[in-house]
């Protein structure tokens, strides 16, 4: 079940990111860094507000042992009530926020963004219920369809028409409205006028811990944007956010799919009583090993090929984003790895233990990014990297303590991928520098370097395939291939 769900989750995120990849390339040539900075500033406010509105209620619907229709409606009512209050507060605070972030355009764009925010609140309970039912194939179709057919088309069309930052804002509103309608049609949930105290207490009891955890992570992922906007302005925020978004293409595909599938899967195992500490240890190790196997070569390639990636994807006006991209790329595994640990921790009900770690993460990002801002945007990136390393360590230590497993086992599982990633990255760095010195075309530099890196990374791992962790990953890949084969056969019949 988890394997098939993971397949569809990755398919959905993969399709989304293919479209997003093309959209990044197109919009970077149609819009200015200032336009992206304005959008990023508005998103800082809305992402944090969405966490407040959800209050962990979606996760509570997924994790609870006994789910009733009344509980679903209660969750939606609570979210809508908090969303309306939050929208009013944000509307009143928008002039102050615009001055704080030195982006006056927030005053005109925020009302439209707040409408998007309210639609997201309506969508969340239905999305969570579909995840609980492990209907990731359907979720993938909704995600890819609304993003590709609405968001991308509208954003490019309006950008070509000269609508600047409004192109992204209106495209987001349209795709969010379409997703809200589709999800409600497939999994309708209505508000309830009279809520039961026991259901409210049960939802908020688990949800409050998840809320604190999500708020910590949301703050940590956005407070650096506030630091950049306040210290350097909208153009610098545009550069910083674009560098982050290049890396987020991989993180969105892998991280969100990992978190959603693992949390739903771990929770499902716990509900049916089929999980034990000993049985979950290899599952946890495989998840981390798979994350390392996928993300470490991407991380190394992003560091080595950052100049070419920025030029090819964004264009010459974005060259100042290269060193920021390289610094942030160092932490790609930590960003994905902490999501694996966090999914396990939440499925085990360790919400408040996770909460203080996530809130500490937000504080560390704020403090270290502010300190690093004295050295420019790269200094902000270094501060974020330091905070990311700390939270990865803290969350993984919590998982290991729950599993009663030593850190040495985790290090042993990750070491083959870390070693091969480091070696292939070092060789690729020298190769890329040589080709640049010979004034080789950037696309050719990327192509040759990626091929060499892939060979240097995969061949040694294949030779080491008898190592337990690599053998287990290969077996999982074979199982995945059988699932795909059976699926194709079912469709052909």
- For the ranges 20-24, 339-343, 471-475, the one whose mean pLDDT is highest: 339-343
Cβ atoms within 10 A of the Cβ of 119, count? 19
Q: What is the DSSP letter of 318?
A: G
Do residues 420 and 460 lie in contact, with contact meaning Cβ atoms separated by under 8 Å? yes
**What does the DSSP assignment read for 192-242?**
-SS--HHHHHHHHHHHHHHHHHHHHHHHHHHHHHHHHHHHH-HHHHHHHHH
Tokens (6 digits) for 81: 């009530």
The larger pLDDT score, comparing residue 294 to residue 159, is at: 159
pLDDT at 73: 83
Measured CA to CA, the distance from residue 299 to residue 306 in angstroms comes to 10
pLDDT at 481: 54
Cβ-Cβ contacts under 8 Å for 450 (sequence gap 6 or more) = 301, 305
Total domains present in the chain: 1
This prediction's pTM: 0.69
pLDDT at residue number 382: 95
Give the max Cα distance, the chain. Answer: 73
Q: Which residue has the higher pLDDT, 94 or 11?
A: 94
Q: Do residues 448 and 433 make contact, with C-beta atoms less than 8 angstroms apart?
A: no
> In this structure, what DSSP letter does residue 46 have?
H
| pLDDT for 33 | 84
Tell me, what's the pLDDT at 483? 46
Contact status, residue 285 vs residue 469, Cβ threshold 8 Å = yes
**What are the pLDDT digits (tens) for 346-380?**
777 787 888 889 889 989 999 999 999 999 999 99
Instruction: Choose between 104 and 55: higher pLDDT.
Output: 104
Dist CA 461 CA 357 (whole Å): 34
Highest mean pLDDT among 2-6, 34-38, 66-70: 34-38
Residue 174: domain span: 2-492
Average pLDDT, rounded, for the chain = 81
In the three-class reduction of DSSP (H, G, I as helix; E, B as strand; rest coil), residue 104 is classed as coil
Start-to-end Cα distance in the chain: 22
pLDDT at 397: 94
Mean pLDDT of 76-91: 82
CA proximity to 425, closest of 451, 453, 444: 453
Nearest to 368 by CA among 392, 394, 386, 393: 386
Q: Which residues contact 328 (CB under 8 A, 6 or more apart)?
A: 243, 244, 247, 381, 384, 385
Q: Is 404 left (phi over 0), alpha (psi -120 to 50) or beta?
A: left
């Amino acid at each position: 079940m988890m394997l098939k769900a993971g397949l569809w989750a990755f398919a959905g995120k993969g399709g989304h990111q293919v479209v997003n990849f093309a959209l990044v390339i197109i919009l970077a040539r149609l819009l200015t860094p200032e336009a992206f900075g304005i959008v990023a500033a508005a998103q800082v406010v809305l992402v944090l507000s969405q966490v407040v509105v959800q209050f962990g209620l979606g996760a509570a619907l997924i994790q609870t042992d006994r789910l009733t229709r009344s509980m679903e409606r209660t969750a939606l009512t609570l979210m809508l009530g908090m969303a309306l209050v939050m929208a009013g507060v944000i509307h009143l605070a928008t002039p102050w926020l615009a001055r704080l972030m030195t982006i006056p355009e927030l005053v005109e764009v925020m009302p439209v963004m707040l409408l998007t925010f309210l639609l997201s609140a309506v969508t969340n309970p239905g999305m969570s219920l579909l995840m609980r039912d492990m209907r990731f194939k359907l979720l993938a179709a909704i995600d890819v369809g609304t993003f590709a057919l609405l968001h991308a088309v509208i954003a490019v069309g309006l950008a070509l028409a000269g609508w600047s930052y409004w192109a992204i804002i209106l495209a987001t509103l349209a795709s969010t409205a379409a997703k809200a309608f589709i999800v409600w049609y497939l999994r309708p949930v209505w508000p309830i006028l009279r809520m039961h105290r026991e259901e409210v207490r049960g939802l908020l009891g688990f949800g409050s811990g998840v809320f604190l955890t999500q708020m910590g992570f949301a703050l940590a992922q956005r407070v650096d944007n506030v630091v950049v906007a306040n210290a350097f302005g909208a153009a610098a925020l545009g550069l910083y956010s674009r560098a982050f978004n290049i890396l987020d293409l991989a993180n969105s595909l892998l991280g969100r799919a990992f978190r959603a599938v693992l949390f739903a899967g771990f929770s499902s195992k716990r509900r049916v009583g089929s999980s034990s500490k000993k049985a979950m240890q290899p599952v946890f190790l495989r998840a981390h090993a798979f994350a390392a196997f996928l993300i470490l070569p991407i991380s190394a390639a992003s560091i080595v090929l950052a100049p070419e990636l920025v030029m090819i994807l964004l264009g010459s006006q974005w060259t100042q984003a290269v060193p920021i991209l390289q610094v942030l790329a160092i932490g790609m595994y930590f960003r994905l790895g902490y999501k694996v640990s966090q999914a396990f921790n939440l499925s085990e009900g360790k919400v408040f233990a996770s909460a203080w770690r996530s809130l500490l993460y937000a504080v560390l990002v704020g403090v270290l990014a502010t300190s690093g801002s004295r050295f420019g945007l790269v200094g902000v990136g270094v501060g974020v990297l330091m905070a990311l390393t700390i939270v990865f360590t803290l969350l993984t230590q919590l998982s290991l303590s729950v599993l009663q497993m030593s850190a040495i086992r985790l290090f042993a599982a990750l070491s083959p991928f870390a070693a091969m990633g480091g070696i292939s990255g070092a060789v690729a760095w020298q190769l890329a520098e040589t080709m640049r010195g010979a004034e080789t075309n950037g696309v050719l530099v990327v192509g040759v370097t990626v091929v060499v890196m892939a060979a240097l990374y995969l061949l040694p791992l294949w030779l080491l395939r008898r190592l337990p962790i690599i053998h287990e990953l290969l077996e999982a890949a074979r199982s995945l291939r059988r699932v795909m084969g059976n699926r194709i056969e079912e469709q052909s019949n």
